[in-house]
Amino acid sequence: MLITKFWHAGDIEMRDGFSIEELKKRLQNSRYKLTHQRQDVLEVFLNSTGEHLSAEEVHRTLRDKGYDIGLATVYRTLELMCSPEMNILQKMEFGEKRARYELKKIEENGHQHHHLICKKCDKVIEFSEDMLEGLEQKIAETCNFNIIDHQVLFYGYCQECAKKLEN
């Protein structure tokens, strides 16, 4: 069964406690401070609608809103939020030679979602499939390996692009 999910800001703030207060707590626990730049970057993700944003897109969004923030600061903030201590953002590579970021999303059943990437239009579709849990457990047991994270990316053509390619 394929489930596509697109998150909205209201869902994100409530899900997994990702709010400014949660970021502040995680930063303090790791001896970092909640700077206004870090708060601004997180708010971009809290207000996005399930988008997979590059550092440049986050930077442009903040600059368009009148914030004075450098691209290097955005990169450092994104990397910090992806760190094991923060574990707030997920960094992904979709084959376009730049990283993209999204809020770390755990499905209600404890699983992560995965991605379908259209090679023609670059559309990204999120999906969740429980059959992957069994595979992950088997790999961990067979290889005697403690898996802490994984990403699954499928490349192909979305329905619209597949139709265009047939013609």
Residue set of the binding site for Fe cation: 133, 150
Residue 104: DSSP 8-state:
-
Binding-site residue numbers for Zn(2+) are 118, 121, 158, 161
Helix (H, G, I), strand (E, B) or coil at 91: strand
Residues forming a β-bridge with 89: 103
Distance CA 80, CA 88 (A): 9
Q: Give the H/E segment covering residue 155.
A: strand 153-156
Distance CA 76, CA 83 (A): 11
With a CB cutoff of 8 Å and minimum separation 6, the contacts of 102 are: 45, 50, 51, 52, 53, 89, 90, 92
| Backbone CA torsion sign across 141, 143, 149, 154 | negative
Tell how strand 114-118 and strand 99-103 pair up: unpaired
Binding-site residue numbers are 118, 121, 133, 150, 158, 161
